[in-house]
Amino acid sequence: MRQEQANAAPRGGEVIPAQSVGESYLALLKQRGIDYFYVGAGTDTVSIVEAYARADQSGIDFPTPVLCTHENLAVGMAHGYYMISQKPQVVMLHVSVGAANAVCGIMNASRSQVPMLFTAGRTPLFQDGKRGSRNGEIHWAQEMLDQGGMVRELVKWDYELRDGCNMEQVVDRALGISMAEPRGPVYLMLPREILAQEVDGFRPSRPVAIPAPPHPDAQAVRELARRIAAASHPVIVTTASGADPDTVDLLVKLAERFGVGVAEAKARHTNFPSSHPLHLGHDAEAVFAKADALLFLETDVPWIPGKTRPRDEAFVAHAGTDPLFNRYAVRSFRSDLTLTSNARALVEALHAALEEQGAADTAAARRAALEASADAARQAARNIMQRVLAKDGPITKLFLTHCLDEVRPQDAILVNEYSAIRPQMRFDEPGTYFGNPSAAGLGWGLPAALGAQQAAPDKAVICVVGDGAYIFANPAACHHAAAAHKLPVLTVVFNNARWEAVYRSTLTVYPGTHAARYAEEHETKTGPLSSLDPVPDFEKYAEASGGWAERVTRREDLVPALRRALEVVTKEKRHALLNVIGA
């Protein structure tokens, strides 16, 4: 949510006829711009259930409830909705056990700087004597001495609501901290007795303003501009600046005006148009070979020290809302200049500073050299794909990627958890590509795609996942949600019956040893601990919830199957799945 949008929220008004803190809480969320309430219901949500049951009588406007039958689904959908809407989301799960199931999703949200009011009920405080006190055996066993400790390392703030009298102040503080940059999830525990407290109406007050985003130090920006203007091959490398779609066009204007190349490092968004003549591709080694000035913008891992690094004589700067990524225990990369700023503010300030430096006057020479490098990067990518297409055989990830890029609508949203090869795809429109979070908590892709579809109902949403990531997503719960909430996502599963990352990682550490020989000696496609055989018939997960599904085993059948599936999701508005058997 932009600052001007946040400040335009309602500023108080008439008394809302709430009868409980639970009703007041839901009404406040709606007043604060929360449209959906992602919930995994439990014994702690009784006041929430009662509030929704009474809504026709009370006339109170609440967020639309989105029932989720697994906690990872709830958090992932909230994550996906934010990716598209840029509005913070609210999740409520069932006490300690529900929160525990969601920790992986919270880690993904934390590393991706996704604002989220993550809440869970708390085991009732009292054994008896109050409405909402304990009335089931589980209320003893589920209590934890420090429930918030499960997520404290991953959230920006955690608290327990102690009384209904300050519910509004606590919720506003939670939302404010979550939206303050660097954004991220916060955690609030909601005891059942507190939600059940009776109130005689509720009048929301003025919302608290969200802090303005950080802007870079002017002197540091001038130094950065001086270095870029003096360079012959300056490059901006970005991983996640496109999380704010407005930065894409700003970055294009800066690159064109001043002759600056843009490369992507493990891109998780559309950061810069793929087809732009100044897009230098995704190969860090090729970029570093020529770059004499580098700005890493919202890039958590700018290079892998054991593989490549910038030249010693190159100028290296880092920038972002949290440029040191302070939650990463070990992270040490060379930096000659480090700036704290959100991406949009930095690009705008750098544009002005480069103008002052007269960098536009010398841009032509830089642009010619950079465009030659960009052409070489595109040709290298084409050569790889041409070799793939020139031979027959089973479906590979590269072949799947080629087919996806051929058939997908250019404004479609693609959510990729591993199996699509990003450097071989063309994404020119902001907000059309989302890659798995840096934490890589498996099971993110399909829930996030469902949330993205909810935020963009008029667009095709394609989710590309590996077989392992699909299983981790709790597919029965995801397809149930697709049917229940009318979210026609197309899921493409690349099914090679193994965790390829596990096997490949083993071979990099132990090349030419036992793991390398294991597959041949045992007549299998992979090594120990990475086979998923026997793989389920994934089609049946989708079909069980009324979806369309098809298995694809031959190369020549893949494009027609993708077209049929896209027809189903865009015309019939049904969720669909392709089980692509690959190598």
Output the domain CATH number for residue 455. Answer: 3.40.50.970
Tell me the whole-structure pTM to 2 decimals: 0.94
Residue 377, CB-side half-sphere exposure with 13 Å CA sphere: 29
Output the domain CATH number for residue 244. Answer: 3.40.50.1220
Q: Beta strand pairing status for 185-191 and 234-238?
A: unpaired
Residue 407 belongs to a domain:
yes
Residue 512 belongs to a domain:
no
Residue 520 belongs to a domain:
no
Residue 309 belongs to a domain:
yes
**Is the domain of 345 the same as that of 370?**
yes
Crossing angle of helices 46-53 and 21-31, rounded to 10°: 70
- Name the residue with tokens 């870029």: 228
Q: With left for phi above 0 and alpha for psi between -120 and 50, is residue 12 left, alpha or beta?
A: left
Q: pLDDT exceeding 90 applies to what percent of the chain? A: 91
Predicted confidence at residue 2, as pLDDT, reads 37
**Is the domain of 367 the same as that of 449?**
no
**Is the domain of 44 the same as that of 133?**
yes
Q: Residue 201 in 3-state DSSP? A: coil
Is pLDDT above 90 for 13?
A: no
Is pLDDT above 80 for 519?
A: no
What tens digit of pLDDT does each residue of 539-561 get?
999 999 999 999 999 999 999 99
Residue 373 belongs to a domain:
yes
- Confidence band for 9, pLDDT divided at 50, 70 and 90: very low
Of 172 and 583, the one with more pLDDT = 172
Q: What is the average pLDDT value for the chain, to the nearest integer? A: 95
Q: How far apart are CA 526 and CA 501, in angstroms?
A: 10
Q: How far apart are CA 220 and CA 340, in angstroms?
A: 10
Give the residue among 429, 425, 388, 395 at the shortest CA–CA distance from 412.
429
Residue 519 belongs to a domain:
no
**Is the domain of 366 the same as that of 281?**
yes
**Is the domain of 176 the same as that of 265?**
no
- Confidence band for 12, pLDDT divided at 50, 70 and 90: low
Q: What is the domain range of residue 59? A: 3-195
Predicted confidence at residue 1, as pLDDT, reads 35
Predicted confidence at residue 11, as pLDDT, reads 43
Among 382, 400, 423, identify where a domain stops: 382
**Is the domain of 446 the same as that of 337?**
no
Among 134, 164, 195, identify where a domain stops: 195
Give the residue among 70, 112, 111 at the shortest CA–CA distance from 91.
70
What tens digit of pLDDT does each residue of 192-226 get?
999 999 999 999 999 989 999 999 999 999 999 99
The whole-number average pLDDT for the span 360-373 is 97
Output 156-159 pairs: Cβ under 8 A, ≥24 positions apart. 156/180, 156/184, 156/185, 156/186, 157/186, 157/187, 158/186, 158/187, 158/188, 158/189, 159/187, 159/188, 159/189
Among 382, 412, 433, identify where a domain stops: 382
**Is the domain of 168 the same as that of 227?**
no
φ, ψ (nearest 5 deg) of residue 552 = -125, 125
**Is the domain of 72 the same as that of 184?**
yes
Is pLDDT above 60 for 490?
A: yes
**Is the domain of 405 the same as that of 370?**
no
**Is the domain of 124 the same as that of 252?**
no
Is pLDDT above 50 for 7?
A: no
What tens digit of pLDDT does each residue of 431-482 get?
999 999 999 999 999 999 999 999 999 999 999 999 999 999 999 999 999 9
Residue 205 belongs to a domain:
no
Q: Residue 179 in 3-state DSSP? A: helix
Residue 526 belongs to a domain:
no
Predicted confidence at residue 506, as pLDDT, reads 85
What tens digit of pLDDT does each residue of 290-302 get?
999 999 999 999 9
- Confidence band for 3, pLDDT divided at 50, 70 and 90: very low
Is pLDDT above 70 for 501?
A: yes
The whole-number average pLDDT for the span 22-51 is 97
Predicted confidence at residue 8, as pLDDT, reads 36
- Looking at the structure of the chain, the number of domains it has is 3
**Is the domain of 440 the same as that of 552?**
yes
**Is the domain of 398 the same as that of 373?**
no
